[in-house]
Structure formats: structure tokens, C-alpha cells
Amino acid sequence: MISAVSEQKASTETPHRDQAREDSLDDIVFKYQKKATLNIDPITQFMSKRMQTNKYELNKIFSTSDQDFHILRLATKSAKIPNNIAIICLSCLKIKDKGIKDLSESLKSHNFLKSIKLNFSDCHKITDSGLYYLSEAFKRNTSLQSINLTFNGCFITDQALERLGKGLKRICGLKNLHLDFSACRNITDLGVFCLCQGLKHLTRLQTLSLDFGECQGIVGKIGFENIGQALKRLQSLERIALNFYKCRRINNDGLNYIGESFQRLISLKEMSVNFQSCYQISDTGLERLCENLDEISLLEKFYLNFQECDLITDKGLQKINERITKLEKLSSVSLHLNWCNQITEPGLQKITESLKSLISQPKVIINCTRSRLLAG
């Protein structure tokens, strides 16, 4: 379940009940663990590290059941929990919404958190209710500067994204936001729309990562329109990553909304866009997406993935070339176009030579195997 490891060996003396508030989080959790006579899972680790500020940093929790979070909730009632929390639970099938509720209650009682990272990848018993609880906790933690949430493969729907958007919009000072809802197959454009209603209020955001890979309910137009509207208001963004890998219903419609937002991203330095296996995207969509790319004058790193988009040709490649070769600060360009079988060697050679001739001399990576057989 939960075990504690500290930099210094814990005292063998049992602290008096009146001294509980002075105990470290390690000692508190250890006592609750011992009192509950829990079986310790060898892969479960609970590590805290004393920082110079006399705070505690919770680096990792590998948890196997809701009971772990219940103990954590009891422990944090009387302990000083850290400014930064990271919890990683991979494929923990015993973690359910009740565990997330206990965790959220712990967060509500400590509103000085600066950073939180929660990874519940492939915890298939987590549903909308779990995200509801977290969203309510975020409303109390308005001092947060960094949020990293992964619910890959969980049973999350549009309703949960609506609640999350409402929770996030209150954290006006948020600087870094990473949301991974890949393989949440019940999410649609409506969910993206609802989430963006909250995102557009985060005007101090510097890093934004949205992962909706394999969300087959996303078609694009409505979702992209609202992503574009939100991005236009986030002029402090320095890094952005958008992932719609294997969202196979996406076509050219709506990509212009994202492209139009680029002219407002005056601080952007790094961009990553992934539409791999979105088979319906053609040269038209690529042109719409890159239409205002040259407006991002500070852009240094550019990553574009349209692998398996077989409708893209040399014409689309030329449109990219026309835009990115106007960016004077580029230091790195990665174009992934494997199995775009209509792209030719002359087309690849032209864009490669253009990029290498730039004054900034960027590192150029272009992958374009035009046949699966050759790739094998």
C-alpha cells in the first residue's frame, strides 16, 4: 500500500498526539500505515524529500487501491504537505472514483500548492466522477502554477471536461498545463468546446499541451474553432503541443481556426502538432494550418507530424516551405511524413535545401518513407 522513505531515519520514539502537527509527512503516513496493519506492496513507493525551504516534496506514489488515498487523506490532516505533488498510478485497476475523492479532499485542505502531477493512465475504473472531484479541488487551489493530468484510457466524457474547464478558469496565475485524455473514446468536439471555455481565461499560461489522441468522437470543426479562440487570448504562450493522433474523423474543416490563432501567439518559441493517421487531411488542410506560421517570429522549435496522411503531396510540402523559411530564429525543425506516398524526392529535397540555407542553420529532421514495405 503506502510506505515512507525519508532522507533521515525516522525516530524510534512514538510522538505524542499533541505534537502531531510538527511531524513530517513521512512520520505521519508511517504511523497511519502501521496502525492500519496494511500489507505493503513491493512496487508501492512513497518518497518525500526535505527541501531548503523546510517543505516536503512528494516525488512519487505508486498506488494499487483506493485505500492508499484514504490513508493519505488522514495523514495530510495534520501534516504539512509539499508545494509540489506527483502521483503516478499506471494500470491500477483497483483505483476508482472513491480514491480520487479522498485525494481531492486532501488537496482542498491545503490551498498553497504550486505544482501537481497526476497520472492515472489506464486506470479503467476512473470515470467522470473522479474528474469532478479534482475539478472542485482546483477551485480551492488558485495558487497553482503547474497542472499535469493524465487520464489516458479512462472512462471520461464531455461532461467531465465541462466541469474541468470551470475549475481551471479560476486559476488565473497558472503557467503550465498538460492535459492527456488520449484514448478516452467518449470525448467529442463538445468536450473540447467546454474545456476551451475555461482555457481562454488562463492568460498567463506559458506552456499548453493537449492530447486527444485516439479520441474517435472528435471530428474537428467545432473543437478546433474553440481551440483557436482560446489560443488567441493566450498571448503569453511560449510552448504548445497539440496531439490528435488517430482521430480519423478529422478532415480539413476547422484547421484554419488553429492556423488563424498563430498570428496572436507573439511569444511562442516551441510548437508541436500531431495529426498522424488523420487520413482525411489533405494539402488544403495543411495549407490552412500553416497559413500564418510565419507570423510567429520568435519560433525556435517546430515539430509537425502528418504520418499516414496519404492525401498530402508536394504541393502541401511547398506551403510549409514558404512559411517556415521566413522564420529567422528557427533552431530545430522536425517533419514526420512517413507513408505520405504522394510526396516525391524532389519535393523533399527542395524543402531540405531551403531549411539548411537559413541564417539560423536549424537542425533539420525530415522522415518520409513513402511505402510501408520500404519502412519494414
- pLDDT for 230 equals 97
Which domains does the chain carry? 1-82 (no CATH), 83-250 (3.80.10.10)
DSSP state of 241: E
Q: Could you tell me the sign of the dihedral formed by the alpha carbons of 68, 69, 72, 74, in that order? A: negative
Taking the chain (376 residues) in consecutive chunks of 10 residues, what is each chunk's mean pLDDT? 36 37 39 33 32 33 53 53 74 82 82 86 91 94 94 96 96 97 97 97 98 96 96 97 97 95 96 97 96 96 97 96 95 96 94 92 92 39
The x, y and z cell numbers of residue 181, run together, are: 485524455
What is the rounded distance in angstroms from the CA atom of residue 17 to the CA atom of residue 282? Answer: 68
Q: What is the pLDDT of residue 300?
A: 97
Task: Report the interhelical angle of 158-168 vs 189-199 (nearest 10°).
Answer: 0
User: How would you class 95 by CB atoms within 10 Å of its CB: exposed for 0-12, middle for 13-18, buried for 19 or more?
Assistant: buried
- For 139-172, give one letter per residue: b (16+ CB within 10 A) or e: ebbeebbbbbbbbbbbbbbbbbbbbbbbbbbbbe
Q: What is residue 336's predicted lDDT score, i.e. its pLDDT? A: 97
What's the gap between Cα 328 and its chain centre? 29
Cell numbers for 101: 475523492
C-alpha cell at 143: 495558487
The residue count for the chain: 376
**Is the overall model pTM greater than 0.85, yes or no?**
no
pLDDT at 68: 59
Residue 202: closest CA among 178, 234, 229, 240 = 234
Residues in a beta bridge with 273: 242, 304
Rg (CA), the chain: 23
Pick from 265, 334, 264, 256: which is nearest to 299 by CA?
Answer: 265
Query: CA-CA distance, 190 to 217, in Å (whole number)?
Result: 9
Q: Which residues contact 22 (CB under 8 A, 6 or more apart)?
A: 15
pLDDT of 32: 35
